[in-house]
Structure 1
Amino acid sequence: MKTALRGALLAATVLAACGPAVAEDVTLTIESWRNDDLSIWQETIIPAFEAKHPGIKLVFAPVAPTQYNAALNAKLEGGTAGDLITCRPFDGSLDLYAKGYLAKLNDLPALENFSEVARSAWTTDDGSATFCVPMAAVIHGFIYNKDAFAEVGVEVPSTQAEFMDVLARLKDEGSYVPMAMGTLDQWEAATMAYQNIGPMYWKGEEGRKALIAGTAKMTDPEWVKPLEVIAGWKPYLGDGFEAQAYADSQNLFTLGRAAIFPAGSWEISGFKRDADFELGAFPPPLPAAGDKCYISDHNDIAIGLNAASPNADAARTFLEWMGTKEFAELYSNSLPGFFSLSSHEITLDDPLANEFVSWRKSCDSTIRSAAQILSRGTPNLWSQMWGVAANVVNGTQSPADAAAEMQAGLAAWYEPQKN
Structure 2
Amino acid sequence: MKFKKFILLIILLLTSGILFACSDKDTTSSGDSGEKVDAVELELYSWRPEDREAYEKFIEAFEAENPGIKINFQPFESTEYNTILTNSLVSGSGPDIVQLRPYSGTKSIADNGYLAPLDDVPGVMDIEESFLEAAKGSDGQVYGVPTTLNAGVIFYNKDIFEKYGLAAPETWEELLQVSEELKSNGITPIAQAGRAAYLLSMLHGVISPSAYGGNDYVDEILAGSTDLTDLKMMETLDRMEEIEQYLPEDFIALDDNDAQALFYAGEAAMYINGDYRLGTFEKNAPEMNIGIIPGLKGEGQNEPFVMNWVDGSFGVVEDSEHKEEALKFIEYMATKEFGQLFSDELNRLSAINGVEPKHELVKQVTKASEANTTPYLLLVYFGEGSPTTKTVFEDSLQGMYLGEITKEQVLEDAQKNVERVATEEE
Aligned to 1:252: 262
Matched, 1:96 2:109: yes
> Deviation at 1:291?
6.2
CA distance 1:64–1:238, shift in 2 (3 Å): closer
Report what 2:93 is aligned to.
Answer: 80
Cα drift, residue 298 of structure 1: 1.0
Match of 2:135 in 1: 122
Partner of 2:58 in structure 1?
45
Residue by residue over 1:312-332, the C-alpha shift from the partner in whole angstroms, topping out at 9 and shown as x without a partner, is 222111111111111111111
Aligned with residue 234 of structure 1, among 244, 259, 271: 244
1:163 aligns with 2:175: yes
| 2:145 aligned residue | 133
Give the C-alpha shift of residue 84 in structure 1.
0.7
More divergent stretch after superposition (81-90 vs 50-59): 50-59
- Pairing partner for 1:327 from 319, 338, 343: 338
Report deviation, 1:156.
Answer: 0.9
Counterparts of 2:369 and 2:131, CA distance in 1: 12
Counterpart residue type for residue 108 of structure 1: V
Q: Which residue does the alignment assign to 1:64?
A: 77
Return the alpha-carbon distance in structure 2 between the equivalents of residues 214 and 169 of structure 1.
42
The answer to which of 401-410 and 229-238 deviates more is 401-410
Cα deviation for residue 347 of structure 1 reads 2.6
Residue in 2 that maps onto 1:211:
221
What amino acid does structure 1 have at the position aligned with 2:70?
K
Aligned to 2:382: 374
After TM superposition, the score normalised by the length of structure 1 is 0.87
* C-alpha spacing 1:155/1:293, structure 2 compared with 1 (3 Å): closer
Determine helix, strand or coil for the equivalent of 1:25: strand
**Shift of residue 407 of structure 1?**
1.9
Could you say which structure has the larger radius of gyration?
Answer: 1
Size of the aligned set, in residue pairs, is 391
Deviation at 1:281, TM superposition (A): 0.4
Could you tell me whether the CA contact under 8 Å between 2:45 and 2:97 is conserved in 1? Answer: yes
Quote the offset at 1:333 in angstroms: 1.9
Per the TM alignment, residue 395 of structure 1 is displaced from its structure 2 partner at its CA by 5.6
- With over 3 angstroms needed to count, the CA separation of the structure-2 counterparts of 1:106 and 1:195, relative to structure 1, is same
Q: Does 1:265 align with 2:279?
A: no
Corresponding residue number in structure 2 for 1:17: none
1:277-316 deviation per Cα after TM superposition (whole angstroms, max 9, x unaligned): 2000012222324266432211111100111112222211
**For the residues of structure 1 that align with 2:386 and 2:109, how far apart are their CA atoms?**
21
Shift of 1:170: 0.6
Residue type of the partner of 1:52?
Answer: E
C-alpha separation in 1, matches of 2:331 and 2:122: 7
Q: Which consecutive segments of 4 or more residues in structure 1 shift more than 6 A? A: none
Task: Give 1:305's match in structure 2, choosing from 285, 294, 316.
Answer: 316
Deviation at 1:213, TM superposition (A): 3.8
Which whole-Å CA distance do the structure 1 matches of 2:230 and 2:224 have between them?
12
Amino acid at match of 1:305: V
Aligned AA (2:312): I
Deviation by residue 1:96-124 (Cα, 9 ceiling, x = unmatched): 21221100111112112211110111112
The reply on whether 1:30 has 2:44 as its aligned counterpart is yes
8 A contact 1:183–1:393 mirrored in 2: no
Q: Aligned AA for 2:39? A: D
In structure 2, the CA distance between the partners of 1:52 and 1:100, relative to structure 1 (3 Å rule), is same
Q: Retained in 2: the 8 A contact 1:379–1:410?
A: no
Other structure's SS at 2:123 match: helix
Residue 186 in 1 paired to residue 194 in 2? no
- CA contact 1:184–1:242 (8 Å) conserved in 2: yes
- 1:411 corresponds to 2:423: no
Distance 1:88 1:352, change over 3 A: same
Q: Give the structure, 1 or 2, with the largest relative contact order (CA under 8 Å, sep 6 or more).
A: 1
Compute the RMSD of aligned alpha carbons: 2.4
| SS of alignment partner, residue 414 of structure 1 | helix
The 1:199/1:150 distance shift into structure 2, 3 A limit, reads same
SS of residue paired to 2:378: coil
Matched, 1:360 2:369: yes
Q: What letter matches 1:45 in structure 2?
A: F
Residue of structure 2 in register with 1:19 after alignment: none
Secondary structure, counterpart of 2:93 in structure 1: coil
Deviation at 1:78, TM superposition (A): 2.2
Give distance in 2, aligned partners of 1:125 and 1:226: 31
CA contact (8 A) 2:393 2:413 kept: no
CA drift of 1:371 comes to 2.7
TM-score by length of 2: 0.85
